Homo-oligomer: A and B are copies of this chain.
Amino acid sequence: MWRKLFFICLSGLSLNPLLGQASKPTDADAFYIRRLFDEALTGNSSPDWLAYLCKRIGSRLSGSPQAAAAVEYTRQVLETLDLDSVWLQPVMVPHWVRGEKEVVHIVGSPSRGDISLRALSLGNSIGTGKGGLTAEVIEVKSLDEVDQLGPGQITGKIVFYNRPMDPRSLNTFQAYGSAADQRGAGAARAARQGAVAVLVRSMTNQIDGMPHTGGMSYQEGIPQIPALAVSTEDAEVLSGLLKQERVRIFLRNTSAMLPDKLSYNVIGEIRGSDFPEDIILVGGHLDSWDVGEGAHDDGAGCVQAMEVLHLFRKTGYRPRRTIRCVLFMNEENGLRGGREYAAQALRKKEKHYAAMESDRGGFTPRGFTCESSHPDFEDRLRRLSESFPLLEPYGLFLKPGGSGADIGPLKPQGAFLIGYEPDSQRYFDYHHTAADVFEAVNPRELKLGSAAMAGLIFLLDKFGR
């Protein structure tokens, strides 16, 4: 009770114009940011941690033994960083399993015989059962097209969603955002018109043989049907064949949703000296898909978030606000970790001064985008922009935009949300595939990201009011 009152009192100090007044950036601040970059670039912690997560543990799907190992491993690492506290936040997560290797092939094409297609069940998809199923394929380019075709043309068929990502989008996440509805909602939409399964073109700008898995969800009251992604190369083959002849496909997958499992968000923090109740969160998500090693998505973000706290400790920075690293569980197929974290924050009346997520891969930093539901958003962005020139020599921008899936649930609480934005060109070459492995992450690009993130958090902490 006294502790709480004490902290409420401390928190109130941020309204005191003398204590809370932002100082002006000086040469010493520029020098300190340079030091953060030097420390990041000469050390090797984040690549070493990522190598462990990827090579010793591997992929970390929610509910898997590897996800449990990752929780334990990152807790142990955080405990070595001389933080003020490290703890686990329990959260129940979905436990979806892929089952046996998927089998998808075109059946007895008059022109080409049987053709095997490289495919992966989409996350949360049900299976066909051991026997598999065979049906005629119909190609569509959108969810609406399925509705237009209606049950007459869709019933009993496998719907093949084949709208590619738009190569003209400079930021590949925009192209992804415009195409991913096929993957997320395609099954429910097709099932409503009587489809027996869906195949979805993989979400990538590359034409290659790697299927990309990813989340999908069913809708209440609509039958659940199997949903699989096919590689873009195979999507092209299938589409080409459909222009010439009727195509029947056999598919078999044994994926299934099991009962929820207990898992954890992993949290560590450095307590603020002046405004300990003001939390600046920095995080990524610890779970990954079950193919590849979850290197870019999102081992990179996790080790970068840990490295931010590590850099502050190594450089002796004493933050005014509490800097909290949160490694969220279950971003990929449920967002339970992010939701639970926000629910707990609300319950405990925690004040999130800001929250930053790194979940766009370990590529060269380009900048930051921010958003908030708080009425003072533009004012805060303007004030942050005043000290931002300190980060411009590092080739970084700051502008309004999205943030991150795991910190999104903090938005209704008015938090100032920041998305770390690395270069996006290569992300969808790896995303949700077997190619998302440690070797695909360039260590310098990863380290530069940690430094950029630490730099912006330093500005928020030092110059924020």
Interface residue ranges, A against B (CB under 8 Å): 37-38, 41-42, 167-168, 170, 172, 205-206, 364, 366, 394-395, 397, 423, 425-426, 429, 442-445, 448
Q: Is the interface of A mostly helix, strand, loop or mixed?
A: mixed
Cβ–Cβ contact B425 & A167, under 8 A:
no
- A170 — which chain B residues lie within 8 A by C-beta? 37, 394-395, 448
A327–B42 Cα gap in the complex (Å)? Answer: 38
Asked if residues B444 and A205 are in contact (CB atoms below 8 Å), the reply is yes
Distance from A171 Cβ to chain B, minimum over Cβ atoms (Å): 9
Whether A168 and B38, one on each chain, are in contact in the complex, defined by CB atoms closer than 8 angstroms, is yes
Verify B364–A168 contact, CB threshold 8 A: no
Other A-B pairs beyond A41-B167, A425-B442, 16, CB < 8 Å: A37-B170, A38-B168, A42-B167, A42-B168, A167-B444, A170-B448, A172-B444, A205-B444, A206-B443, A364-B425, A423-B423, A425-B444, A425-B448, A426-B442, A426-B445, A429-B442
A444 to B426, CA, bound (A): 8
Min Cβ gap A404→B in Å is 21
Give which listed residue, B205, B206, B366, B445, contacts A425 with CB less than 8 A.
B445
10 contacts between A and B (CB under 8 A): A37-B168, A37-B170, A42-B168, A167-B444, A170-B394, A170-B395, A172-B444, A425-B444, A425-B448, A426-B444
Q: Which residues of B contact A425 (CB under 8 A)?
A: 364, 442, 444-445, 448
Contacts of A168 in B (CB 8 A): 37-38, 41-42
Smallest CB-CB A-B distances: 10 pairs: A425-B444, A41-B167, A38-B168, A425-B445, A364-B423, A41-B168, A364-B425, A426-B442, A42-B167, A425-B442
CB distance from A321 to the nearest CB of B (A): 28
- Report how far A172 CA is from B41 CA in the complex, Å: 12
* Complex interface: chain B residues within 8 A of A37 (CB): 168, 170
In the bound complex, what is the Cα–Cα distance between A276 and B455 (angstroms)? 49
Q: Enumerate chain B residues within 8 angstroms of A444, measured Cβ to Cβ.
A: 167, 172, 205, 425-426
Q: Which residues of B contact A397 (CB under 8 A)?
A: 395
Assembled-state Cα–Cα distance A61/B304 (Å): 41
In the assembled complex, the CB of A64 is this many whole angstroms from the nearest CB of chain B, namely 31
Question: When chains A and B are docked, how far (Å) is the Cα of A444 from the Cα of B168?
Answer: 10
Residues of B within 8 A of A42 (CB): 167-168
Q: A150 → chain B, closest Cβ, in Å?
A: 33
Who on chain B is nearest to A429 by CB? B442
Distance in Å: Cβ of A327 to nearest Cβ of chain B: 25
A423's nearest neighbour on chain B, judged by CB, is: B364
Contacts of A442 in B (CB 8 A): 425-426, 429
